[in-house]
Structure 1
Amino acid sequence: MQVRNTATGFGVVTIAMHWLVAVAVFGLFGLGYWMVGLSYYDDWYRTAPDIHRSVGILLLIVMVLRLAWRLANPVPRPLPNHSRFEVLAAHSAHLLMYVLVFVAMISGYLISTADGSSISVFDWFEVPSVTGRIKGMEDIAGLVHYWATWALVVLAGLHGLAAIKHHLIDRDDTLRRMLGTDRRQH
């Protein structure tokens, strides 16, 4: 398998980052959904948010690298059986998912640093607050974070369903290309 993308297929770096981000996004969403229901006396009350914030910061780093990789390494051409609508919808969905991931991560960062404190990433390093104390910022950022993450998960779910539709109904290589198992040579 190629490291870089080719005109007909994705490279191993793109594929690995795609699936890493997908797992992180759905994992963070599940963890976030679960942890908001924890009580003060729950054993995970402090641990779950620390994990959520740490993985979120690491995801931000991966997404910056992924965006740089994407800009330096264009995606393969669309498959010949894809309609103009499908190509436009796919490009629009990908762009919106990038925007939503960054909005979710930035708003999550602003929630956690609204009181001026930094974020400890698994005790490996600290990410300082760039805003200092801003009264009420966590409420606004929380609302943005809530809706951005829901929109992201719904859109990512539709993205996955579209890939399954291409695989099972259209019987094309759309999903295989992102699994690194397409039938055509790179």
Structure 2
Amino acid sequence: MLAHSRSLGHSSVMKLRNDKARYGWVAIGLHWLVALAVFALFGLGLYMVELSYYDPWYQSAPDLHRGVGLTLLAVVLIRLAWRALSPPPAPLAGHHRWERIGARLAHWGLLGLLLVAMVSGYLISTADGSGIDVFGLFEVPSLTGRQNGLEDSAGLVHYWSTWALVVLAGLHGLAALKHHFIDRDATLKRMLRP
């Protein structure tokens, strides 16, 4: 009984950092926060482009989209810094070489598409020279000033990068489910708890 209670006490210690075998709570939390924000922003983006001028959400939906998008950019930068401080665990033994290469390409592809989507979204919103108000707390200024045609070209990049991001994230999720239900390995479990 005493050994059981000690093991429970030891397992309840909050593991923040990654180790060689598992992710810590910080990496897990940042992963799921980014995933939730990406799909929420994508859904909000699809919703807001269909709004009419007289819809009550016509002004507030884009403001919310921009505010969450810039907050997500900060979270992604924090996640990159955390990754440098606490490197991810090694791939699980037993994965094929093509799976390890595919996972690495998918992770860097997701990160690249995230950054392209957020920077292009920023450029859409600041192409007229105005800054972006973030939830009334502060304003992110325009770095480009007024640029004719920038809104349209950045809009095209934003549209395709967000679609590619969501498709790749969906494939990433399906791969995790394949590892969990077919391969029966700990790939998904490592991203659920340390």
The question of a shared fold, defined as TM-score above 0.5 by the shorter chain, is answered with yes
Residue identity matched to 1:23? L
Which of the numbers 63, 73, 88 marks the counterpart of 1:50? Answer: 63
Q: Distance in 2 between matches of 1:112 and 1:18?
A: 26
Q: Distance in 2 between matches of 1:110 and 1:103?
A: 10
Q: Distance in 2 between matches of 1:147 and 1:61?
A: 22
Residue identity matched to 1:16? G
1:132 counterpart residue number: 145
- Structure number with the bigger relative contact order (C-alpha 8 A, sep ≥ 6) is 1
Residue identity matched to 1:19? W
Quote the offset at 1:72 in angstroms: 2.1
1:35 counterpart residue number: 48
2:175 counterpart residue number: 162
Runs of 4+ in 1 over 2 A off after TM superposition: none
Identity of aligned residues (%): 64
1:147 counterpart residue number: 160
Residue identity matched to 1:22? A
Residue identity matched to 1:30? G
Equivalent position SS for 2:139: strand
Higher Cα Rg, which structure:
2
1:26 counterpart residue number: 39
TM-score by length of 2: 0.92
TM-score by length of 1: 0.96
Residue identity matched to 2:113? L
Residue identity matched to 2:34? V
RMSD: 0.7
Equivalent residue runs for 1:2-17 within 5 Å: 2-17=15-30
The runs of 5 or more residues in structure 1 that have no matched partner are: 182-186
Residue identity matched to 1:163? A
